[in-house]
Amino acid sequence: MSKKSFIPLSEPNITGNAWKYVKECLDTGWVSSAGSYVETFERKLCTFTGAKYAVAVVNGTSGLQIALKLSGVEAGNEVIVPTLTFIAPVNVVRYLGAEPVFMDCDNFMNLDPVKLGEFLATSCRKTAKGTINKKTGRLIKAILPVHIFGNPCDMAAIMTLARKYGLKVIEDATESLGSYYTAGKYKGKHTGTIGDFGVYSFNGNKIVTTGSGGMLVTSDKKMAEKAKYLTTQAKDDAVRYVHNEVGYNFRMTNIQAALGVSQLEQLPAFIKRKKENYYEYKKALAGVKGLELLGVPEGTSPNYWFYSLLVDKTAFGLDREALMSALSKSGIQTRPVWHLNHLQRSYKGNQAFKITRAGSFVARVLNIPCSTGLTKAQAARVAGAIKAAGNLHG
C-alpha cells in the first residue's frame, strides 16, 4: 500500500511560517531554552486563550506535575482524577508521592460532576486541615479534570464543588486548545483558564504541535513566576549556579516555540477544518444503524480534536474491534479509547468510586481520522469504508 493512499489517524500539519521561524532560530544560533520565541509563544497563547500568564514547558505532563506541586500536593495526599483518560495525568500524581482516586465519566467521556459531588458528600469529611477521604484517611488536595478529545468538561459544577470542599483544580486541557464555553457561568472562557491552573499539550498529534512541548497557564502572577523558576532548574544565581530549591529541566526550547508560534497563527483555520470534517462524517454516516458520532456538550464550542465513533455491534453487525481491523486493511488508521486507569496494573489498589459508564465507552469507541489536513475526499473514503464494512458483514 502506498504512503499516499494511507490515511493516518492524526498527523501534524506543518505549513505557514514554520520554516521561516525555525530557520531564524538556526541562523541566529538561538536553539535552546533561551531565545525570543519562547516568550513570544507564551504571550500569543495568552492572547488567544485569555489566560493571564503562561509558562512554556517541555511537555504537557511536566506542566501538570508543576501545577500539582504548586497546588500543594505532597506525598501521602490524594488527587481526584478520571479513570477514562490517557495515563499521563494519573502518573503525575504518583510522581509527587500522592495517590489518585478514580472517578467515572459523563456522557461525553469527561469527569462526571454528579458522581464527584456524591463522592465528596458521602465518602469524605471536611476538617480544619482540609477534606479527608473517610476510607483512606488521606487529605484530598485537588481535582484534575481532563477535557477529553477537546470536549469541555462541566467546569461550572466542578468548580462549585472544588470551592465548597477547599480543593485546587488543575485543568488538563492538553487535548482542548481552542475549546471554549458559549453559555453559562463561564461563557467566553477557554478550557484551561478556569481552574487554578491549566495545561496544554503540543505533542505531534495535537491540533497545534511543537513536536513535543506544553504550556502551563494561571491567573496568579506569583504562581506563574514560581513555575518558571522551578522549570528552569530553580536558578537563584544563574552566573554562579546557586539553587535554593530542587528544580526541573522542563523549559521549552526556542526551536519548539518558533514552531508553536507558526502553528498558533493557523489555529482558527485548523479548528474550522476540524469542525467541517466532523460534520462531513456526521452527514455521511447519518442513518447507518449502530453508528453514532459522539456529540458536543451543550453550551460549548470544542476544537473537535478527535472524532469518536460509537459502535453498537448488535445494530451495526460488527463490534469496534472488527471494524478497526477492517479499516486497517483498507489503509485507514483508527484507534480505540484508552484502557481504564483504575484497571491498570499500577493502580488496581487505588480507590475507584462507582465506575459504571466508562466501561461502555471503552467497549464501543473508535476514533477515526481527524487530521487538520484531512480532505473531504479522504473523509468520504473513510465513511465509505466504514459503511462497506458494515454491509459486508450485515
Considering only residues 9 and 35, tell me which one the structure prediction assigns the higher pLDDT. Answer: 9
Domains of the chain are: 18-265 (3.40.640.10), 267-393 (3.90.1150.10)
For residue 33, pLDDT beyond 90: no
Instruction: List pLDDT tens digits, range 227-237.
Output: 999 999 999 99
Q: Which three cell numbers stand for residue 260?
A: 508553536
Contact 263, 210 (CB under 8 A): yes
The residues near 261 (Cβ < 8 Å, ≥ 6 apart) are: 17, 21, 37, 40, 41, 44
Confidence of residue 252 (pLDDT cuts 50, 70, 90): very high
pTM: 0.96
pLDDT of residue 3: 57
State the average pLDDT for the chain. 96
C-beta of residue 40 within 8 angstroms of C-beta of residue 259: no
Using only the alpha carbons of the chain, give its radius of gyration.
21
Using one digit for the tens of pLDDT, what is the confidence trace for 173-217? 999 999 999 999 999 999 999 999 999 999 999 999 999 999 999
**Spatial separation of the C-alpha atoms in residues 163 and 248, rounded to whole Å:** 30
Q: pLDDT tier at 4 (50, 70, 90 boundaries)? A: low
Does position 102 have pLDDT exceeding 80, yes or no?
A: yes
pLDDT of residue 249: 96
pLDDT value, residue 391: 76
| Distance of alpha carbon 173 from alpha carbon 213, whole angstroms | 13
Distance CA 166, CA 104 (A): 21
